[in-house]
Amino acid sequence: MLRTLVVLAGVGLAVLAAGLWLTRPQVVDPVAMGLAELEADATRGEVVYWASGCASCHTAPGSDDKLVLAGGHRFQTEFGTFVAPNISPDPDAGIGGWTLGEFASAVTKGTSPQGAHYYPVFPYGSYARMTPVDVADLWAFFQTLPPSDRANEPHQIGFPFNIRASLGSWKLLFAGTDWVLEADTPQLERGRYLVEALAHCGECHTPRNALGGLDTALWMAGAPNPSGEGRIPGLRRDQLDWSAEDIAYYLESGFTPDFDSAGGEMAAVVENMSQLSAEDRAAIAAYIVSLGE
């Protein structure tokens, strides 16, 4: 009996060790990703910045300066309240002491420079699809932004969601790099990249399962507001009958075909989208129009 127990304990430990190894935080290899060979461009990075909505989450509450990423915005969810960190170039309070490789690991792998998992309220599940050049360009633009010494605040989450090691399993299940929809034209391909990667639209407009993963079978079909107040609308053709021109104009101006205007979190999205080119807004609109019922 003792020998059996010892064997079972050994098997259990081996399984645990294998699980921890498989779900360990992953980091980017800058050489394999080709980051070292890229000539980053801050001007291109500004486009990535607005498309990715960095300011919407990381600008301090009450601040009108969308280039000071001091953090502090609070996100209420069923798993707890998460607080956006300072990601300004400040070397102590922000991310000014990071390397490009560490930045790429954070953005595309959800791994901190200290080797810990980030919570997926940071949409690295979408950003994982970003191209290396966009990551490098975004990092170059970050270097041009003003620093802030605003101290970070801790998340307010309880057991068991405060166990970061469990996020490795979540990443294996839900943080893949596959595209959701097929794209058969250059415009749709660009629209898909903007919607599914940079702008991470599905993070809000797609419902989640019990573990917090996106239910891609109901891609962009609408979802409960994480704050518990109201519902985020669906964008599929049986839910939104706007033309591509209507959608593009809404993203530029915030005005709907019914003479209403964007409000709440969507107002910030429109502020970001208005900074993009007309071609990019048209690509997003083409993608949304292509969504099935």
- CA–CA separation, 147 and 89 (whole Å): 5
- Whole-number pLDDT of residue 293: 56
The whole-chain average pLDDT of the chain stands at 90
For the chain, domain boundaries: 27-174, 186-289
DSSP at 228 = S
Q: Strands 231-232 and 80-83, how do they pair?
A: unpaired
* Predicted confidence (pLDDT) per residue in 65-122, tens digit: 999 999 999 998 888 999 999 999 999 999 999 999 999 999 999 999 999 999 999 9
Closest by CA position to 95, among listed 61, 62, 69:
69
User: Is there a contact between 93 and 113 (Cβ–Cβ < 8 Å)?
Assistant: no
pTM: 0.90
Q: Which residues contact 126 (CB under 8 A, 6 or more apart)?
A: 196, 197, 198, 200, 202, 203
Fold for the domain defined by 186-289: Cytochrome Bc1 Complex; Chain D, domain 2 (1.10.760)
Calculate what percentage of the chain has a pLDDT beyond 90. 71
Cα 40 versus chain centre, distance: 21
- CA–CA separation, 63 and 123 (whole Å): 22
The better pLDDT of the pair 1, 222 is held by 222
Mean pLDDT: which of 165-169, 259-263, 274-278 is highest? 274-278
Q: Which helix (H) or strand (E) holds 76?
A: strand 74-77
Range 3-8 average pLDDT: 50
